[in-house]
Amino acid sequence: MVKNFKIFLTIVVLIGAIACTDKFDAPDNSVNPNNQVVGDTVYIQQFPVWEGFNNPHDMIVGREPFLYIADTDNDRILMMDVSGKIYGSKTVRRPIAIAQDFNLNLIVCAQFDTTINNVSQAYSAVYKLDLFSVSHNISQAPLKRLLPRTSFDFSRPLREYTGVCVFGGNDFYIARKGPVNSSPIDPDNSILIFKNITKSDGIKKDTLVGRVPLIAPQGTGIVSANQISSLTSFNNGTLDIVVTLIGENSFKVQWLEYVQTTIFTGYESKLSPFSCEMMDVGKFGKPEGTALDNYKNFYIADAEKDSVFKFNNFGDELQSFGGSNVMKNPHAVAFHDRTLYVLDTGNNRILRFILSTDID
């Protein structure tokens, strides 16, 4: 891993010479007269607003850090730095979820179009975008399809891959949803496990090894996979995840803690129902994305409520804000260096905020 990052320092220097140099206007730190006041705290909007997207569905701050945006109806993954400079894009059919592994490659939930028996058919798909092999020249990055891969996969065209998160060792989870959930072995609503396994030839390969057990595919309570809209990992050496749900469920944002004891191995809800504001019944409408800051605070984008909620790691609500005059149908949030990025999907733009308490 250390070796990879040393190489990447060289990559950063090369990018300036090889990549597109389009740039959004530089931030001027102007104050919006509609700043959101929450108690003694103000969310101060940064300008300019970044526009030019078309129904974007996901956004992350990578480990470099670069921003990666799943610009859904523009059929592309856009790569830019945290100041707004665009470094390029990769054509991918209708991307909706994105994550980055520790080799700096991207894993993307998107769409795959094919022809079966002379009939055109669109399938949800999972891709791996190998940025490292092309020194982050994203337009040239090889795109490898991981799913669908079997004849059975192709027999289930209504399955959708909706979320992805990565763990140490470059293992990752994929969230899947669909209408067929009667099977106790392979329901559509599931979390799939991919492991980075070294094969007999010494080559590592992303291998689907099964699905996370003991998660109810249509559960209306805790530990549920009822139409997962996003997955978020903690990047702290654990297998804990945050899931957001848009199916019928009383608790639509759940922190699932991975537990190993002599009598049980699997996921349990870290926060008990009714124990905190994050676990109040009906707290969320349609949560679509989650981000964590360095203090393990949760930021949650709620598309139905046109809002971003913030909670501490006890589930207590902190500074939440929004409203249709600020954002519309937000689908993702990201946090980096005291700046909160909000994917304002309904307005096809990215908003940036800092907290007044973070101003030096």
Q: What is the pLDDT of residues 153-176, one digit of tens each?
A: 999 999 999 999 999 999 999 999
Q: Note the pLDDT tens digit of each residue in 326-347.
A: 999 999 999 999 999 999 999 9
Which pair of structure tokens corresponds to residue 66?
Answer: 């670069």
Burial (0-12, 13-18, 19+ Cβ within 10 Å), 243? buried
Asked if pLDDT for residue 358 goes beyond 70, the answer is no
Considering the chain, what percentage of its residues have pLDDT values greater than 70? 88
The predicted structure's pLDDT at residue 43: 84
Q: Which residue has the higher pLDDT, 294 or 348?
A: 348
How far apart CA 102 and CA 135 sit, in angstroms, is 15
Asked if pLDDT for residue 190 goes beyond 50, the answer is yes
Distances (CA, A) of 116 to 121, 155, 211: 7, 10, 27
Helix intervals (H) in 92-202: 151-154
**Edge-to-edge strand order for the sheet containing 86-91?**
58-61, 67-71, 76-80, 86-91
Which pair of structure tokens corresponds to residue 298?
Answer: 């949760």
Q: How many CB atoms lie within 10 A of CB 80?
A: 21
The predicted structure's pLDDT at residue 193: 98
How far apart CA 257 and CA 241 sit, in angstroms, is 7
Domain ranges of the chain: 2-358
> What would the mean pLDDT of 58-63 be, rounded to a whole number?
97
Homologous superfamily of the 2-358 domain (CATH): TolB, C-terminal domain (2.120.10.30)
Question: What's the pLDDT band for 244 if we cut at 50, 70, 90?
Answer: very high
Considering the chain, what percentage of its residues have pLDDT values greater than 90? 79
How far apart CA 67 and CA 59 sit, in angstroms, is 7
Q: Note the pLDDT tens digit of each residue in 2-55.
A: 445 444 444 444 444 434 333 333 333 333 444 555 445 678 999 999 999 999
Asked if pLDDT for residue 299 goes beyond 50, the answer is yes
> What would the mean pLDDT of 139-151 be, rounded to a whole number?
96
How far apart CA 25 and CA 164 sit, in angstroms, is 31
The predicted structure's pLDDT at residue 35: 54
The predicted structure's pLDDT at residue 8: 44
- Name the one residue in this structure whose structure tokens are 């209504």: 158
The predicted structure's pLDDT at residue 7: 43
* Contact yes or no for 300/313 (Cβ under 8 A): no
The predicted structure's pLDDT at residue 41: 63
